[in-house]
Amino acid sequence: MFRSDSLSQLAILLLIVIFAAGCGHSASTETAPEVNISDAAVRHIEFSDLSACDADVLARSSVPGAMNRVTSCSEGAGFAVATGEHIYLGDFEGGLNPVASMSDILSGDVSGIQLTSDPTRIALLDGEAGLVEVLDESGKALFDVGGDFEAMSLGPGGDWLATIATDGTVNVWDPDAGVPLASFEGGGTGEGISPSGGGRRIIARTAEGISLLDVESGRVESIPLERGLLGDVLLSEGVDTIYVATEEPDSSVYAFDPNLEARWSYLLPGGVSPALVADATGEHLLVYGAHEVQAYVTAIHGSSGRALWRLTLEEGYVVSSASWDDDGRAVLGVLEESEERLDSHPAEPTLALCVDPGGEVASMVEISEGEIMDILPAGRVIVHNTGTGSMVVHSPRR
């Protein structure tokens, strides 16, 4: 129900990593102080009390067919879109340009897509065929490899590509030379891999907790977690913080420092795993999910664990995607989950909220035509209408 692709969408790896050497120390969560949200401003949102406004249109393009995947580069300078027919690359002023035809590069649908920070390279995963291909900005194929892969991650600089096979093996490749740089044996299956913001490390979700792999040295460090199943995992290079969410039966969020010691923990109401979104600095974290029938969003200061503000939403609405803009405001995609709507429409976000640093709703935009595909860094909202084939990039900020 909650978002999955983002800077968010970040993918993580379900992997039992077995390393014979180079393993670092393990972390403990027993002494982590819990976040106290009692001092944070808590506001309940009733949408009938808010006035809708028009959003600024940053770009408009024609994108026929269904949009399968959307991603942006870490610097927020561009984004890529995969449909059933084409791969598009665009910016936030001129819209999208087709760079490759799906029939020329992959045999199946794109199940994963990532950009370098330039953005000049696009990595594509065909999960059904187990293939990975890297293209340049003109659509020229630079590197392709097959191996029954389930997930992949492209380094922000494009100098390495990590893949995870169905047997749990992690391979790191040099896309320019087309040769493997390293291989690490594991077990189980993969759901994704995620690089750190600076591209030096890969974060992996394991059966016992979290593992960090340094791409250059091959050194591995582990964080065992016993409380609940693992959910979202983020590695913030800017403040050297690792954010980890656990699922039911014990839903919590942990922050770990560079020494893998727990900085703080946040025990969540209920057993639903939260989604995590950090801003560009890694210093601020959005935690969003739902407790029973009520959705919540909490903003936390990453280093200290201080809760900045908390929102609860009117019953029947959930937060389906989120990001931060450049001025410390949160941008939320909100989905109405009423039975009437679910009977007549696919589950689609209907509102975009811009929340200021104090937790006040600065603006609300109604999405009447199309669906919110994602909210990219800098708070840019991607809306696509499959019927008309139009794609619009909105900015809901005011």
State residue 212's pLDDT score: 74
Give the domain range for residue 178.
16-395
Kindly state the tokens that stand for 248: 């039911």
Dihedral (Cα; 22, 242, 252, 375), 10-degree rounding: -130
Contact 58, 253 (CB under 8 A): no
72-88 burial, b for 16+ CB within 10 Å, e for fewer? Answer: bbbebebbbbbbeebbb
Taking a C-beta distance cutoff of 8 angstroms, is the pair 294, 312 a contact? yes
Q: Which residues contact 345 (CB under 8 A, 6 or more apart)?
A: none
CB 318 within 8 A of CB 290: yes
At 308, list the tokens: 């900045």
Residue 6 located in a structural domain = no
Q: What is the C-alpha separation between 145 and 218, in angstroms, rounded? A: 22
In a domain, 78, yes or no: yes
CA distance 263 to 222: 16
Q: Which residues have C-beta within 8 Å of that of residue 177, sequence separation ≥ 6?
A: none
- Which of helix, strand or coil describes residue 130? coil
Which amino acid belongs to residue 91? D
Q: What is the pLDDT of residue 389?
A: 74
- Answer yes or no: are the C-beta atoms of 209 and 230 closer than 8 Å: yes
Please report, for the chain, how many H helices and E strands are present, in that order: 2, 36
Residue 3 included in any domain: no
Q: Structural domain tally of the chain?
A: 1
pLDDT digits (tens, 9 = 90+) for 159-194: 888 887 777 677 888 988 888 887 766 533 344 455
Asked if the structure places residue 7 within a domain, the reply is no
162: region left, alpha or beta (phi > 0 left; psi from -120 to 50 alpha)? beta
DSSP of 109-121: --SEEEE-SSS-E
Report whether the peptide linkage leading into residue 396 is cis, meaning its omega lies within 30 degrees of zero.
no
pLDDT digits (tens, 9 = 90+) for 206-229: 666 677 777 777 777 777 766 556
Of 192, 252, 168, 242, residue with least CA distance to 212: 242
**75-106 residue pLDDT tens:** 667 888 888 788 888 887 767 788 888 878 77
- The verdict on residue 347 lying in a domain is yes
Asked whether residue 9 is assigned to any structural domain, the reply reads no
* Helix (H/G/I), strand (E/B), else coil: 381: strand
CA atoms within 13 A on the CB side of 230: 26
User: Cβ(395)–Cβ(369) under 8 Å?
Assistant: no
| Burial track 238-264 (b if 16+ CB lie within 10 A, e otherwise) | ebebbbbbbbeeebbbbbbeeebebbb
- Residue 10's pLDDT is 27
| Count of Cβ atoms closer than 10 Å to residue 52 Cβ | 13
DSSP 267-331: EPSSSPPPEEEE-TTSSEEEEEEEETTEEEEEEEETTT--EEEEEEE-TTEEEEEEEE-TTS-EE
User: Any idea what the CATH number is for the domain that residue 231 is in?
Assistant: 2.130.10.10
Q: What is the DSSP string of 7-72?
A: -------B-EE--SS-EEEEP--TTPPBP--TTSEEEEE-GGGSPP-PPEEEEEEE--S-EEEEEE
- Residuewise pLDDT in 10s, the chain (398 residues): 223 333 222 233 322 222 222 334 445 555 667 766 666 778 889 888 888 887 778 777 887 777 777 887 766 678 888 887 888 888 877 677 888 888 787 777 788 888 888 888 999 988 788 889 999 988 899 999 888 888 788 888 888 888 877 776 778 889 888 888 877 665 333 444 555 545 667 776 666 667 777 777 777 777 776 655 667 778 776 667 888 887 765 678 888 887 778 888 887 766 566 888 888 888 899 999 877 667 889 899 888 888 899 998 888 888 888 999 888 899 998 887 754 444 444 445 578 899 999 899 988 888 777 778 788 878 888 887 777 777 888 787 55
Side chain identity, residue 210? I
pLDDT at residue 356 in the model? 92
Strand (E) or helix (H) holding 343: helix 339-344
Q: Report the distance separating Cα 83 and Cα 90, nearest Å.
A: 14
| Prediction pTM value | 0.79
